[in-house]
Structure 1
Amino acid sequence: MSAASHQSAQPRQPLLSVRDLQVAFGTKKQPNEVLHGISFDVYPGETVAIVGESGSGKSTTMHAVINLLPGTGRTTGGSVTWNGRELVGIGRREMETIRGREIGLVPQDPMSNLNPVWSVGFQVEEAIRANGLAKGRKEVKQRAIEVLEQAGLQNAEQRMKQYPHQFSGGMKQRALIGIGLSANPQLLIADEPTSALDVTVQRVVLDHLASMTEQLGTAVVFITHDLGLAAERAEKLIVMYKGNIVESGPSREILQRPQHPYTKRLVSAAPSLASRRIGSDADLPPAPTESFDLAALAEEEKPTVKHGEPMIEVQGLGKVYKIRKGSFGFEDFHAVSDASFTVNRGETLALVGESGSGKSTIAKMVLQLEKPSSGEIRIDGQNVAGISGRRLFDLRRTLQPVFQDPYGSLDPLHNIGNTIMEPLKIHGVGDAESRRARMLELLDQVALPRELATRYPNELSGGQRQRVAVARGLALKPDVLVLDEAVSALDVLVQAQILDLLAELQQELGLTYLFITHDLAVVRLIADRVCVMQQGRIVEQATTEEVFENPQQEYTKNLLAAIPGAHIELGVS
């Protein structure tokens, strides 16, 4: 008893203490301050989540702590103490002994943080050697296998020989988590560590992080836009807005009773299982309204069609890939098997499932980017299997994609105006003047200022880029948009804006959406019906309401149960 009281009498010392931290980019003569005096503590074994929209300063704060600010970024004021030791102003060598060994980092983008010319195993082994965790080739290799298995990577010994391009996004993310955990650091900074992962893999990784925290007393700082993850996994929440902390405290308390207007906005924008379909008051969208001048497409008016007619019909669809086996033979890999579904005009069908379940393969076959091995696809009553040449070119006008990555799907050498006009040029629609008029109308339609037409993708935020991708998809006035993880890279406020935009456009233009996603909370907001995929097969198919309220398959129940914060009520006071 006296030992316990003595323990409580000792004030708990923070592992990391940040006081009045200021960071600026640019030259000393013209500094642009992006952090305006940030203060917080992280205690041993504590899990803290920093949330806020893109550009709020979340990543900058933690990169300043470990002196990894990009470009012209530098700490201009304040103090960062680590285990009682001041980090601001210490030498590069000293910082390198702390970074990796005492403070681990899992960076955000698995695509650009693994070197494409080295095997994944080599890169994990390099981190282990650099941190002095093992000696001798055999010991280093053994530790690398252990680290990758800990991070949830199956067949780690075989996988180590592969290169980053042979890994899925989720596998790359797990490799980075393995590297970050390899030294058993006292603090792990995890920058959007699970944004590339589907919910079941996400749960495996987060459970591992949680058990590591308990066993080793490791503190974790999550930088995330997923409020469900913050509510479920973090004890303490820090809400950032424009380089300031606007609210902090116990995470559930803040998310259930937010005080600051910005936190209230974040919470109300977060999709959850309690959400309802956007625009659910209307059973079917109204017929398209021609409220804008369509000079570019005037010569090809489409006949009026009734809503509810089958728009995409998929019957017995299969896709088999030949995978090399050994030195000589090949074996069949069934990516999609006997998939059947119908999407009616003006409706949204969501294809959901884990990475590798076959969702994107179906999307590619519908878009005619991959040829089916079996079955048939009908678009607006027309069998498109095996079509080519002019017929395929014409089909592209009906069917347009919006891809996952707003960073990678726009050409950095084309300005926004030319990017949006590109489909019109390719299809020979109108003259230069009418194409420009259509481009400006599209910018209005996706709520982007017209002056962005002369800007380039690197000058736009992630949300603006995704709006450009939607505008480009709409340029030819298609009937169907195939959206492959179209909002997964976006923070919660921008995600809510894009989902609202898609719902409005669907109502206004009578669009049909095939929506591929691993985020079931988003499905709740956007989809009328859901197909759940597992290992290439559709295992459950029903209305969104039925799938969420009364899932039939064990697999679907597991997917729903794995959503971070699924059963935590978020509230706006």
Structure 2
Amino acid sequence: MNDQQPILSVRDLKVEFGKKKERREVLHGVSFDVHRGETVAIVGESGSGKSTTMHAVINLLPGTGKITGGSVDWRGRELVGIGRRDMEHIRGREIGLVPQDPMSNLNPVWSVGFQVEEAIRANGLASSKKEAHARAIEVLEQAGLQDAELRMRQYPHQFSGGMKQRALIGIGLSANPELLIADEPTSALDVTVQRVVLDHLQTLTSELGTAVVFITHDLGLAAERAEKLIVMYQGNIVESGPSREILERPQHPYTKRLVSAAPSLASRRIGADATVPAAPTSSFDLTAVAESDKQIDPNRPMIEVSGLGKTYKIRTGNFGTTDLHAVSDATFTVKRGETMALVGESGSGKSTIAKMVLKLEEPTTGSIKIDGVETADMRGRALFDLRGKLQPVFQDPYGSLDPLHNIGNTIMEPLNIHKVGDAASRKARMLELLDQVALPRELATRYPNELSGGQRQRVAVARGLALKPEILVLDEAVSALDVLVQAQILDLLAELQRDLGLTYLFITHDLAVVRLIADRVCVMQQGRIVEQATTEEIFENPREAYTQNLLAAIPGRNIELGVE
């Protein structure tokens, strides 16, 4: 096969979902080519058909999904209608997949190392257990996981989101496939690890001639890493061509909207009174907002963390244990109506602090006060009342939504537990929340597996707001969202903060988002807070080399955009 010919050629691909009478077409004749060693990025908002397109290619459509037309040519071989056994041979060995959701793609009852070794053996890459073990350590290190040998003994629940994502990237790359489909491969990764992983992928593509298809909502990443860009909207390709060209001179109205809403690209030119398209400027000028609202005492501390530490015991074999210091001596205060962002690499202890603030983990040392009250000894009724004041929005929308509850019941769950109002008023509040997070009301009867990742994340935000809490702890709450929805959610959060005097603890690895929403920033490295200042100071004049490195790694920061 010569290099001029594409290794993957998709022509007029159509996909439908649903039962017989209620079938609906979600892909309306998609066509594109991928050449050997080429990196292609598919971008578009949540639900535009990006993941469906690539899952159709490898015959992994969920539920009732079915290819109803078109052709998928893989190195001269037709994949539409191919037998299951033949497809399983191609998947993993020839076409690798890094799935979007690391939480639900790792088995919780097996150690991470066992799962990586299993994938290596299944793909015929190791003849002995010892060989599989050595290769597993190698692929996890390649994917940027520190202490790979020690970490392999841990279970998925002991990994941060970013660490799980790296384990999946390791599994996807273990067979050195000719094509790697990376579905939001770095959405759970902080920028520095993202850079390490993407540099590694780039090395692979140049050395081994591996082609990569990125499915992403990060336009900065697409511009920086992919030669070719495919823009999808409502199951159609609306624009495709060289990445830089499209982002500097977008033609289609939808591409123009996407580009103008991208905070990861806009971060260098957004100041304290940032504007995001379709967002009122004042929404983001949070300091001015807090001062203008007379009911809010801007100096009243809502979250006071002092000398906080958390140590985990990790088994080392032979019944021994070793200490892992996840958080050491963390101290900060979040005032009422303020947004404090905790930023840092994956595994730096951000989410661990969030869990301790939410009373989901007990601190090893130090104290946490919520609205002036020490939480260490809270039990029973006091803890129940605290839950009404303090609500989480978690990183993983799939893991935090009950698959057996429809969306309406999921959003109403906190109202039912806290016995707020009657059935009719709860339903009215649920519909109001769906409107607030820009979801159609008819989704109330759907289930989590019928929603896209971005839609699930919006449901998680709606549920967090149901009780009208005073404090929201948002753990990577917008990392799974495409830029248009991200702009809406950030605007919504800022608007709610202005109207209700909400206090936010915002955990994120996306510094561009921090620029839009935070008043103050704590930068974390290996469990310690290394720098703490106003957002403006951190961005304009970072003191620590670590912070400078984080800022330098924002993808696409030097790309000029073609939007007025």
**TM-score, normalising length from structure 1?**
0.87
Equivalent residue, structure 1, for 2:47: 55
SS in 2 for 1:68: coil
CA distance in 2, matches of 1:504, 1:101: 49
Equivalent residue, structure 2, for 1:546: 537
Equivalent residue, structure 2, for 1:231: 223
CA distance in 1, matches of 2:423, 2:60: 46
Say whether the 8 Å CA contact 2:103–2:399 is kept in structure 1. no
SS in 2 for 1:22: strand
- Please state how far the C-alpha of 1:241 moved relative to its aligned partner: 0.9
Equivalent residue, structure 1, for 2:332: 341
Q: Does 1:519 align with 2:490?
A: no
- Please state how far the C-alpha of 1:83 moved relative to its aligned partner: 2.6
Say whether the 8 Å CA contact 1:284–1:346 is kept in structure 2. no
CA distance in 2, matches of 1:311, 1:120: 38
- Please state how far the C-alpha of 1:523 moved relative to its aligned partner: 0.8
Q: Does 1:473 align with 2:477?
A: no
- Please state how far the C-alpha of 1:72 moved relative to its aligned partner: 3.5
CA distance in 2, matches of 1:362, 1:499: 22
Equivalent residue, structure 2, for 1:246: 238
* Equivalent of residue 203 in structure 2, options 211, 227, 233: 211
Which one has the largest radius of gyration? 1
Equivalent residue, structure 2, for 1:270: 262
Q: Does 1:180 align with 2:138?
A: no
Unpaired segments ≥5 residues, structure 2 = 276-282
CA distance in 2, matches of 1:366, 1:493: 30
Say whether the 8 Å CA contact 2:284–2:516 is kept in structure 1. no
CA distance in 2, matches of 1:74, 1:484: 35
For 1:61-460, what aligned pairs fall within 5 Å after superposition? 61-272=53-264, 273-274=267-268, 275-276=270-271, 277=274, 279-281=283-285, 283-285=287-289, 304-324=295-315, 327=318, 330-432=321-423, 435-436=426-427, 438-448=429-439, 456-458=447-449, 460=451
CA distance in 1, matches of 2:316, 2:83: 52
SS in 1 for 2:499: helix
Map Cα deviations across residues 531-565 of structure 1 (whole Å, 9 max, x no partner): 10111211111111111121110111111122222
CA distance in 2, matches of 1:135, 1:332: 34
| One-letter amino acid matched to 2:512 | A
CA distance in 1, matches of 2:152, 2:331: 37
- Answer with 346-355 or 327-336: which moved more: 327-336
CA distance in 1, matches of 2:19, 2:94: 31
Say whether the 8 Å CA contact 2:286–2:494 is kept in structure 1. no
Say whether the 8 Å CA contact 1:354–1:518 is kept in structure 2. yes
Q: Percent identity?
A: 82
Map Cα deviations across residues 72-115 of structure 1 (whole Å, 9 max, x no partner): 33333323222333333444444344333222222222223333
Unpaired segments ≥5 residues, structure 1 = 1-9, 290-302
TM-align CA RMSD: 3.0
| One-letter amino acid matched to 1:315 | S
CA distance in 1, matches of 2:416, 2:351: 28
SS in 1 for 2:221: helix
| One-letter amino acid matched to 2:298 | H
Say whether the 8 Å CA contact 1:50–1:224 is kept in structure 2. yes
Note closer, same or farther for the CA distance 1:49–1:478 as it changes in structure 2 (3 Å cut).
same
Map Cα deviations across residues 510-530 of structure 1 (whole Å, 9 max, x no partner): 111111111111111111111
Map Cα deviations across residues 108-132 of structure 1 (whole Å, 9 max, x no partner): 2222333344444444344334433
SS in 2 for 1:565: coil
Say whether the 8 Å CA contact 2:393–2:477 is kept in structure 1. yes
- Please state how far the C-alpha of 1:197 moved relative to its aligned partner: 1.8
SS in 1 for 2:11: strand
Note closer, same or farther for the CA distance 1:416–1:81 as it changes in structure 2 (3 Å cut).
closer
- Answer with 387-396 or 16-25: which moved more: 387-396
Equivalent residue, structure 2, for 1:563: 554
**TM-score, normalising length from structure 2?**
0.88
Note closer, same or farther for the CA distance 1:163–1:462 as it changes in structure 2 (3 Å cut).
closer
- Answer with 304-313 or 347-356: which moved more: 304-313
- Answer with 202-211 or 105-114: which moved more: 105-114
Note closer, same or farther for the CA distance 1:535–1:424 as it changes in structure 2 (3 Å cut).
same
CA distance in 1, matches of 2:423, 2:81: 56
Note closer, same or farther for the CA distance 1:287–1:554 as it changes in structure 2 (3 Å cut).
closer
CA distance in 2, matches of 1:463, 1:148: 28
SS in 1 for 2:263: coil
